[in-house]
């Protein structure tokens, strides 16, 4: 592990000498290697396994509108949801929670009344439950529930106030999930914030006329905003 940490900066220096298209390709590979190494180190520190990608065809769930499991970065919530904005009655939900990385971060960082993860895959839900048992992160939330369900069949509770999405689905499935969310808000009007990592379907959100963009958080260079790696935060109008 030490060798890897020391080698990456040396390779970065090498890309400055190479330059051109090859240098750009090498830099991209190094960046991805660093990100993967960082994910593995955080997992090891926290006593969980959330870093490895998983394709839904492994579980017989492949669908062109459902996206494979790729975890959001550790610290995504810390950068997008200030602790003082979360009260004792707030409820957090992650739609497409995978191995529960953001569920764990929400439960450890904030005093939510409840943290919910909803995941289609039974296998990923079992991994998530194992992570909840093994984590060395302190759980501050009053309650954590990991639910195995298709979002198309899941009724969003009418007390949810923070929604997290990591580009879990697209197209008609995304539209149905958002309609489900808006139905919940209409049944019980309340402030709701949506944190959308990799916001591929933002045009649909805005087309409803119900989502107001609050801010954007990106890890890219100043002035460079790419959908992937970007988090956008919205409020829902009642």
What CATH code is carried by the domain that includes residue 128? Answer: 3.40.50.150
Cα separation, 131 vs 28, in Å, equals: 30
Indicate if 231 and 143 belong to the same structural domain: yes
Indicate if 109 and 164 belong to the same structural domain: yes
Nearest to 164 by CA among 215, 123, 198: 198
Indicate if 95 and 154 belong to the same structural domain: yes
Cα separation, 188 vs 210, in Å, equals: 15
The structure's pTM equals 0.84
Indicate if 104 and 210 belong to the same structural domain: yes
Cα separation, 225 vs 96, in Å, equals: 24
Sheet-wide strand order for 230-236: 144-148, 114-119, 91-95, 162-165, 193-197, 230-236, 211-218
- Is residue 51 included in any domain, yes or no? no
pLDDT by residue for the chain (238 residues), tens only, comes to: 333 333 344 444 444 455 555 555 555 555 555 666 666 788 999 999 999 999 999 999 999 999 999 999 999 999 999 999 999 999 999 999 999 999 999 999 999 999 999 999 999 999 999 999 999 999 999 999 999 999 999 999 999 999 999 999 999 999 999 999 999 999 999 999 999 999 999 999 999 999 999 999 987 554 555 788 899 999 999 8
Q: What angle do CA 149, 163, 126 make, to 5 degrees?
A: 35
Name every residue whose Cβ is closer than 8 Å to that of residue 133 and which is 6 or more positions away in sequence.
none
Indicate if 12 and 81 belong to the same structural domain: no
**How many structural domains are present in the chain?**
2
Task: Give the model confidence (pLDDT) of 155-179 as tens digits.
Answer: 999 999 999 999 999 999 999 999 9
- Burial of residue 138 (number of CB atoms within 10 Å: 0-12, 13-18, 19+): exposed
Pair of tokens at residue 188: 């019980």
Indicate if 75 and 125 belong to the same structural domain: yes
Cα separation, 105 vs 231, in Å, equals: 16
Indicate if 96 and 144 belong to the same structural domain: yes
Indicate if 73 and 24 belong to the same structural domain: no
Indicate if 67 and 42 belong to the same structural domain: no
> What domain range includes position 11?
2-46
Note the residue count of the chain: 238
Write out the H or E segment, with its range, that includes residue 209.
none
Nearest to 202 by CA among 181, 233, 163: 233
Indicate if 25 and 81 belong to the same structural domain: no
Q: Is residue 68 helix, strand or coil?
A: coil
């Amino acid at each position: 592990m030490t060798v890897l940490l020391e080698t990456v900066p040396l390779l970065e220096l090498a890309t400055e000498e190479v330059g051109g298209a090859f240098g750009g390709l090498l830099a991209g590979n190094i960046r991805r290697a660093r990100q993967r190494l960082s994910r593995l180190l955080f997992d090891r520190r926290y006593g969980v396994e959330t870093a490895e990608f998983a394709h839904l065809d492994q579980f017989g769930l492949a669908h062109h509108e459902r996206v494979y499991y790729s975890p959001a970065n550790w610290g995504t919530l810390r950068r997008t949801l200030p602790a003082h904005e979360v009260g004792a009655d707030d409820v957090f939900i992650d739609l497409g929670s995978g191995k529960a990385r953001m569920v764990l971060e929400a439960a450890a960082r904030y005093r939510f009344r409840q943290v919910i993860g909803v995941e289609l895959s039974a296998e990923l839900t079992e991994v998530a439950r194992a992570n909840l048992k093994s984590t060395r992160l302190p759980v501050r939330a009053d309650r954590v529930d990991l639910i195995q369900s298709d979002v198309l069949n899941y009724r969003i509770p009418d007390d949810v106030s923070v929604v997290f999405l990591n580009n879990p689905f697209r197209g008609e499935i995304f539209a149905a999930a958002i309609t489900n969310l808006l139905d919940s808000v209409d049944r019980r009007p309340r402030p709701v914030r949506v944190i959308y990592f990799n916001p591929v379907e933002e045009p649909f959100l805005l087309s409803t006329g119900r989502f107001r963009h609050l801010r954007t958080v990106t890890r890219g260079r100043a002035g460079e905003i790419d959908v992937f790696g970007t988090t956008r935060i919205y409020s829902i109008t009642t």
